Amino acid sequence: MNRLRFIVAIIAIFFNMLVAFSAECHHRGMLEEPYCDNDYDLIADLPTDPKQMITPQTLIVSFSPFEDLSPYSKYITRFTDHLATCLDSKVIYYQMQSNEAEIEAMRAGRLHVAGFSSGSTVAAVNRAGAVPFAAKGNEQGIAYSGLIVIARSDSPYQKITDLKGKRVAHTDAVSNSGHLGALALFPQEGIIPGVDYEVIFSGKHDLSIVGVKSGDYDAAVISAEVYERMIGQQRIKEGEFRIIYQSEPFPAAAITYSHKLAPEFREKLQQCIFDYRFSGSMQHELLGADRFVPINYQKDWAYIRMLLEEANQIRQEIFQNVAAGNKNGWGARLYTWLR
C-alpha cells in the first residue's frame, strides 16, 4: 500500500513538473515580459493558463490617431456596428490621443482590438502583446503606402539634402513613415535627422502637412497615404507641395487583437472582420481598399522591422556622440527625445 502511494506521489510530482515546464517561457525574442514567443513567430503566444484568456463581454476597439479621424467617424461607426451584430456583443470605440496611449492601453488590458500604424504595430507587438492579423486591402492583397518628404512648391528645396539647417516636422517617436523610417533611410542619402536638421514632432501626419503649408515647417516627413487622402478630400491642393523624397512602399497599418483573447473568440472576431466590406464612399476615402485582408507579421512586416533596426542603430550612434561630449545642437535634442 505504501509502495503504491509512493508511486502515485512520484507520478503527481512528475506531472506537475511537466505542466510547469510547458508553461515556461523558453523564448522571448524582442518581446517584453511577460510575453513569450515559444513558437518563434515574433508575436506573443496565447497564455498557457486558461484563467488568463478572455472573452470580452464588451469589446473595446481603437484606431491609431495618425491623422484627424473625425472625417471617418461614420465609417468607424458602421464598422463597430457590424462587429456588434456579428459577434452578438457590445462594442465600444474609444479614440486614443497618441500611439503611446494606445499601446499602453492594450498592454494594460483596456483595449481588445486596435489599428496601429506600420511603425507602432511593431512597438505594440513587442511591448503590448498585440497580434497583427489584418490590413486594409482588396482582392489583389495588402494596400501599401510609404514615406514621403514634402516641401512647399514655392520653396527652394528640391532634395532632402537641401534641408540641412532647416526645421522639419516629424510626427511622433514610434511612427515609421513619420519618423523612424527617416532615421533609417536618410543617412544613406547624406542627411541625418536631428543632427543635420531640426526635428519637430507635430503629433499627426495631417498636422505636419498643414504646418508646411502655413510655413511653420520647411518640410515634413509623412505618410504618402495620408497626403493622398487629404488631396482627395480637398483639404489641400497637390500643386501647393513638392515631393522631394519617396521611400519604397510598405503596409500602412495593421489590425491587431490582444494575445489574451480566447481561441474561439479570436476566430469569430477574425471572420467577422474579414467578411466586412467597405462602402463605396469609404473605398474612395481609402484609395481603393475595399476590405480587410489577412497578413503574416513575420513576412509582411519584415521591411518595416529592418527599417526600425537601422533607425535604432542611428539612435545608438547619436547616444555615443552625446556621451563622447558632443552635447550641443539638434543631436542632443534628439537624444533627449529618444531616451
Residue of higher predicted confidence among 13 and 27: 27
Q: Is the peptide bond before 56 cis (omega within 30 degrees of 0)?
A: no
Same fold? 1-144+250-295, 147-247:
yes
Does pLDDT of 54 surpass 50? yes
pLDDT, tens digit, 9 for 90 and up, residues 279-307: 999 998 888 999 999 999 999 999 999 99
- Burial of 74-109, coded b for 16+ CB within 10 Å and e otherwise, reads ebbeebbebbbebbebebebeebebbeebbbbbbee
Does pLDDT of 15 surpass 50? no
Domain coordinates in residue numbering, the chain: 1-144+250-295, 147-247
Kindly state the percentage of the chain with pLDDT values over 70.
Answer: 88
Does pLDDT of 269 surpass 70? yes
Does pLDDT of 194 surpass 70? yes
Q: Which residues pair with 284 in a beta bridge?
A: none
What is the model's pLDDT at position 188? 94
Quickly state the pLDDT bin for 314 (edges 50, 70, 90). Answer: confident
Q: CA triplet 16, 21, 22: central angle to 5 degrees? A: 100
Cell output for 245: 523624397
User: Which is nearest to 255 in space by CA: 275, 280, 268, 273?
Assistant: 273
Q: What is the CATH number of domain 1-144+250-295?
A: 3.40.190.10
CATH architecture of the domain 147-247 equals 3-Layer(aba) Sandwich (3.40)
Does pLDDT of 18 surpass 70? no
pTM assigned to the model: 0.83
Quickly state the pLDDT bin for 2 (edges 50, 70, 90). Answer: low
Could you tell me if 244 and 158 are in contact, meaning their C-beta atoms sit under 8 angstroms apart?
Answer: yes
Residue of higher predicted confidence among 61 and 335: 61
Could you tell me if 148 and 181 are in contact, meaning their C-beta atoms sit under 8 angstroms apart?
Answer: no
User: Which is nearest to 46 in space by CA: 314, 257, 313, 334?
Assistant: 257
Torsion angles phi and psi, residue 303, rounded to 5: -65, -40
Residue of higher predicted confidence among 318 and 301: 301
pLDDT, tens digit, 9 for 90 and up, residues 209-226: 999 999 999 999 999 999
Q: What is the mean pLDDT of the chain?
A: 89
Q: Which residues pair with 294 in a beta bridge?
A: 134
pLDDT, tens digit, 9 for 90 and up, residues 86-131: 999 999 999 998 889 999 999 999 999 999 999 999 999 999 999 9
